[in-house]
Amino acid sequence: MQLASQLSVHRNALSLHCCLTRKHSQLLVPSPAVLQQPLAVPDRLLLGPGPSNVPPRILAAGGRQLIGHLHKEMFQIMDEIKLGIQYAFQTQNPLTLAISGPGHCAMEAALLNAVEAGEVVLMGVNGMWGERATDISKRLGADVRQLVKPPGEYFALQEVEQALDQHKPSLFFITHGESSSGVLQPLDGLGELCHRYECLLLVDSVASLGGAPIFMDHQDIDILYSGSQKVLNAPPGCSPISFSERARKKIFNRKMMPPSFSLDMGWLANYWGCDDKPRAYHHTAPINGFFSLREGLAILAEQGLENSWKHHKENSVYLCEGLQQLGLQLFVKEQEARLPTITTFVLPEGYDLQEVIAFIMNKHAIEISGGLGPSAGKILRIGLMGYNSTKFNVDRVLHALKDALQHCHKNKL
């Protein structure tokens, strides 16, 4: 711009500023009275499908003063998170990090980086998560095929093989811990099978990680993600994810840029020190979310994966026995297929699900949950995850359920 017009622009801007002050001297929207009240957060035992209660050590970490998202101490904490995820996932993949968002963002990050428009993908749908992965993949313009089973069932190897053979997908999605139905999906053999069909295996372990065995490298899983707010007992908002060398190659040889900047794995890999370039600014990370996730992973590492799997299994079996003693019917018939972190069951005739849930919340300050997606209105769900997976909590929730069964029958009057 020439000087004369520059001056005119500046005069224009100055008058704009004056005008702004004059024109808007009164606030249109007054300060809301309700914000003068203190923040009200009731105490609850969270035995739904997540979030779980957060132990004091993790709350304290999340309550620490911030440092910058590009400080070297932050990179050190992120390196520690990466090691913690590699341990929890049982993987040596260098491309391992935490997404700055809830589990759905990790699902979206996996799909939008690994899949391009027009590619055939196959979704294992036996509950909510296969439906969500289908929704996301459609938005990406993928050619989405489904392998469907009723909620409460899992997929057998030969069923998957038949579908791979029929659809020839480039990616197969399956859920390890189907939190909407309480099913634990066996994973052995799936990776090898997918690779025989030149297909990547993508596994959702949001609800199962730390609560049931998973071995990313041994089981040939190509992309694995989880959440922070289940067994890891951190607040929601950060989601561990890891990519095998096979997945990494596919992602970094895309034809088109991924349709999201925030979830672009090239940028994220750099920020997390997973490439050979100096770390650069990508986004402002959820800094104390990372503090909390680091502590959640540290607690899991201290306890040991095998111990964590064992105590989740034991407390889940203890809960199942208690539910059966109350005359309640477990939704997943086969014991080995029951997810140790989330137990699902059916109420007898004469009860309204929502009434039972509300009774337990209002009288006992305990959250239990109804179904979700295909299981909505059919089942109840009790989560026992990490810090919350204790015999004491099982006793508390069984006591509350017994009370509800006595008070909520429709013939109670």
Footprint of its own copies on residues 155-214 (CB under 8 A)? 156-159, 186-189, 213
**How far apart are the two ends of the chain, measured CA to CA in Å?**
83
Torsions phi, psi for 17 (to 5 deg) = -60, -45
By CB under 8 A, is residue 402 in contact with its own copies?
Answer: no
Closest to its own copies by CB, 14 or 245 = 14
> By CB under 8 A, is residue 146 in contact with its own copies?
no
Write the binding mask 276 to 295 for its own copies: x where contact by CB under 8 A, - elsewhere: -----xxxxxxxxx-x--xx
Stretch that binds its own copies, among 32-40, 342-350, 392-400, 405-413 (CB under 8 A): 32-40
Radius of gyration, CA atoms only, the chain:
25
Stretch that binds its own copies, among 197-205, 257-265, 322-330, 395-403 (CB under 8 A): 257-265
Rounded alpha-carbon distances, angstroms, from residue 222 to 183, 215, 242, 259, 387: 21, 11, 8, 21, 29
* Interface positions, 225-254, toward its own copies (CB under 8 A): 227, 229, 235-237
Q: How far apart are CA 216 and CA 244, in angstroms?
A: 9
- Exposed e or buried b for every residue in 98-108, given b needs 16+ CB within 10 A? bbbbbbbbbbb
Among 86, 170, 341, 344, binds its own copies (CB under 8 A): 86
Q: Does 61 bind its own copies (CB under 8 A)?
A: yes
- Least spacing, CB of residue 340 vs its own copies, in Å: 12
43 in contact with its own copies (CB under 8 A) = yes
> What is the dihedral sign for C-alpha 158, 162, 163, 169?
positive
Is residue 240 within 8 Å of 226, Cβ to Cβ? yes
**Size of site (CB under 8 A) for its own copies:** 119
The reply on whether position 54 binds its own copies by CB under 8 A is yes
> Closest distance between its own copies and the C-beta of residue 164, in Å?
16
On whether 381 is known to bind a ligand per the annotation, the reply is yes
Query: Which among 385, 340, 292, 353 has a CA at the least distance from the CA of 46?
Result: 385
Q: What is the DSSP letter of 34?
A: G
Q: Is 91 in the site for its own copies (CB under 8 A)?
A: yes
334 binds its own copies (CB under 8 A): yes
**Which C-beta is closer to its own copies: that of 20 or that of 325?**
20
Task: State the minimum distance, in angstroms, from the CB of residue 404 to its own copies.
Answer: 18
Q: Which residues are annotated binding-site positions for substrate?
A: 381
